[in-house]
Every structure is written in structure tokens, then in C-alpha cells.
A = this chain, B = another copy of it.
Amino acid sequence: MQIAILAHEKFPERAKTALGVLRYGDYDVAAVLDREQAGTRVHDHVPDVQDAPIVAGMADLEEPIDALLIGIAPIGGGFEGSWRPDVRAALEAGCDVISGLHYFLSEDEEFAALAAENDCELRDVREPRDDLTVSRGVADEVDAEVILTVGTDCSVGKMTATMELARDAREAGHDAAVIPTGQTGIVIEGWGTPVDRVVSDFTSGAVEGMILQKGDDHDYLFVEGQGTIVHPAYSAVTCGILHGAMADKLVLCHAAGREAIHGYESFPLASIESYVDRYESLADPVKPAKVAAGALNTHGIAADEDARRAIEEYAENLEAPATDVVRFGTEEVLEALL
């Protein structure tokens, strides 16, 4: 499927979904829409993902697309008015629009009318199934070993670590699958439940349901974690995933140099050791699990040597092997997990 990805004013640093799709998705990306970066290419910013031209809007596409994908997710998940002309243009050209926003495009009157008129589809991937219920506390009964990524904050690389680890586990000959819990993971994998969008009482149950669905067909499940357990706004989702997944092992993800909660800068990050304690102590009465490895996002560190030193220090704090899964590969960490 040929798509364009909308990432206005956010590419690449603040366009998590766009980057995830470029890196792991099975889509043919015709262009990225970012009016601030128009004229450059994806590879000018991020060399190790699928390349594509960056254009200012739908009018500048050089080839037809099947769908426009909203590749950014602002805090709160709202829809920004400045994106409206591109979504309108896509629908008028008969393209589907895929969105992971809290704001459901299918409930937008103008978009719904345009989609009906032009016989195309508004796919709100964050809309959860309606048969969800409370957890029964049985996710650990599946055959698969369950590995959950947890984090010190949002946007530290949990989705990336999940995808890299699962891919490399498969390449090493293991039968590994991803349990996607957020919009990017769901867009990449083509299925999943947006756990941050379910009724709060069903948070754990939504994760348990996915694990029961896949857990007897694979040897390993890599569960995409969300947020952080000490987030001022999103900790509920993190906690529900932790107890619903009943993981055997945890991978603690962190971004080197991150000092405060992203978007909540008055809340400094706690020490790495204290995160390990919190996650393990919280998991313990439901299903004991250790932080068996760490994934450090060293994107902000220029020199490999400095990145390696940061990873070494991180691993010492964790008392577990660690790496930057994108920069240095997953080998050492996978050894500790599989």
C-alpha cells in the first residue's frame, strides 16, 4: 500500500508514529508532509529508515497514494486545524485516512461526509474493540515467554525497542510476535488494541486479551509498553499494562540525558535504580518479574564512544545488560532475554 505521512512541524524528532512506520512498517511511503522541512528528504534527517521526499502538503505529492496516515500525536491526542486542508485533499482524491488520534476523524462531520462522497475510509485505529472486559489475571498461563518494555518516561523508545527486539529474535530463528498497545504499533502490525483509549477498568484486561489471543502460537511475545509508572497524567495506562501482561521479564527503556518528564518539565525524572525498584516491586504480587535488560536511546549523543559510556553507566545502574537497540543492535540484550 502506497501512503503519505502527515507530520507537519514535527518531523523527525516529534513525529513518533511517522518514524515508526518509516522504520518498521510494511508500507510504501510516497512522501512525508511537513511544511517546515519541505524540499528535504527523510534521509537528510534520519539515515537508517525508508527514504521519501518531504513535501509541504497533499498538492505537492508526485505520485498517487492509497492512504494518508496521521504521523504525529500531540499531547491529548487532538486534531489540529492546520492539518484539515491535507485531510480534506486526501479524501477528495479518494484516499483513505488512517489516524491514531483520540479525536476520531470518523466522527468529524466534514470528513465523514467527504469520505462517503468519495467512497473512501476513515480508519481510527485508536478506537478500541467493544468486547473488552476486566482482566482475569491469567495472562501468565500462555505458552509464550512474555517480555514487556517499560520506561522512565513517554517517548524514550519503548515501541522501538519492542519492534527491534522482536525482529531480531525472529531473525535469530525464534518464533516471536509483538503485542501492540499504541497507535504506532497498531499501524505497523496491522492489529492490536489502543490501551490508552479503553475504559480504565479494562486496561489490564485489554492487554490480557491480546496475550491470550497470541500467547499459545508463539515462543516469545514482546509487549509494547506505554508511558511511565510515575507519570503525572499517563501512569494508569502503564500500571494496567504491567499487571495485565504478567510479564516474565521487563526491559527498562530510557533516553540518555532526559532529565524531566516530557511535556511536564516541572517533574524531574527519578533515579534509574528507583525505577527498577518500582517496576519490580509493583509487578511482584501479581507476577514477579525482573528488569532483565535495558534499552538506552542515545540519539542525543554524537560520538559512539560517548554513547557506549552512557550505556555502560546505565547498565551498571540497572544491574543488567543494556544497549541502544538502534545504534548498536540487540545482540547482547537478546541474550539476556531469550
User: Roughly how many angstroms separate A106 CA and B229 CA in the complex, as a whole number?
Assistant: 36
Interface status of A190 (Cβ within 8 A of chain B): no
Q: Are B264 and A285 in contact (CB under 8 A)?
A: no
Given the interface pairs A102-B201, A196-B201, the reply to whether A235 lies near B230 with Cβ below 8 Å is: no
- Inter-chain CA distance A244–B231, complex, in Å, is 9
Given the contacts A267-B285, A285-B267, A233 and B76 also touching, CB distance less than 8 Å: no
Would B281 and A277 count as touching, CB distance under 8 A? yes
A258 located at the interface, meaning its Cβ lies under 8 Å from any Cβ of chain B in the complex: no
Is A298 interfacial (CB-CB < 8 Å)?
no
> A82 an interface residue at 8 Å Cβ cutoff?
no
Contact indicator A137/B232 (Cβ below 8 Å) = yes
Contact check, A236 vs B204: say whether CB atoms are below 8 A apart: yes
A228's nearest neighbour on chain B, judged by CB, is B285
- Interface flags, A205-246, vs B, CB<8A=1, else 0: 100000000000000000000000111111111111011101
- Interface stretch (choices A24-32, A128-136, A306-314): A128-136
Instruction: Please report A residues at the B interface, Cβ cutoff 8 Å.
Output: 75-77, 102, 133-137, 195-205, 229-240, 242-244, 246, 264, 266-270, 274, 277-278, 281-282, 284-286
* 11 cross-chain CB contacts under 8 A: A134-B233, A204-B235, A230-B282, A230-B284, A231-B286, A233-B244, A235-B239, A235-B282, A236-B236, A268-B285, A274-B281
